[in-house]
Structure 1
Amino acid sequence: MRKRRNATLQFAVCINNEGYEASLEFGKLYRIVADAEAAKHGYLTIIDESGEGYWYSAQRFFPVEVPTELARALSASV
């Protein structure tokens, strides 16, 4: 069985920032923080422009898989 890449480092692209223009940039890649409680309610915990993790509707994002090296580099800059 193949292991999923970047199991602890997940990212998504914002595809809808309506109403959250100050917190989210359309088309920008954001880090997802694993949060089972948020997921139960249809949300993702996203590190937004404030640098903090907040719940946003999962429908606002498109999850993407990035190479391990890129995930590490992006996480180091957060």
Structure 2
Amino acid sequence: MTTKLQKPRQRFAICINTDDADLLTPRMVYQVLPDESAAKSDYIRVIDNEGEDYLYPARYFVLVDFPQPVKRALLRTRAPVMRSVATERSRVTSAQRKNL
């Protein structure tokens, strides 16, 4: 008997809480990666604002199921990388210097 390999199901979650606003943004949608051992400890692995996959407490998220066209669109879209406060300050300082 032959079996077809199933494509991994694409999962997404909406952040509802965070203790690090640089890495997670409340009300933002994140891609969830499979991690069975993390799930056993009530954690989920998501791709955060820096584009890295990391474990976060599952209580920070609500899992959502979108229609397939929405999932495809989300997977094609790159999440913006959050800039640090220091980067923003140096950018403003550079802009101000040009006006001097």
For Structure 1 versus Structure 2, the TM-score category normalised by the shorter chain is 0.7 to 0.9
Shift of 1:37: 1.2
Larger radius of gyration: 2
Bigger strand share: 1
Q: Does 1:55 align with 2:42?
A: no
Structure 2: gaps of 5 or more residues: 1-7, 79-100
Q: Provide the identity percentage.
A: 35
| Structure having the larger proportion of residues in helix | 2
Alignment-derived partner of residue 3 in structure 1: none
Gaps of 5+ in 1: 1-6
Q: TM-score, normalised by structure 1?
A: 0.85
Which residues in structure 2 correspond to 1:1-78 (within 5 Å)? 8-17=9-18, 19-78=19-78
Higher relative contact order (CA 8 A, sep 6+): 1
Aligned pairs, number: 72
What is the RMSD of the two structures over their aligned residues, measured on CA atoms?
1.5
Structure 1 residue runs of 4+, over 4 Å off?
none
Q: Distance in 1 between matches of 2:39 and 2:26?
A: 21
Q: Deviations over 1:20-71 (max 9, x none)?
A: 1100001111110011011011100011001011000000000111010110
TM-score between the two structures when normalised by the length of structure 2: 0.67
Secondary structure at the aligned position of 2:75 is classed as helix
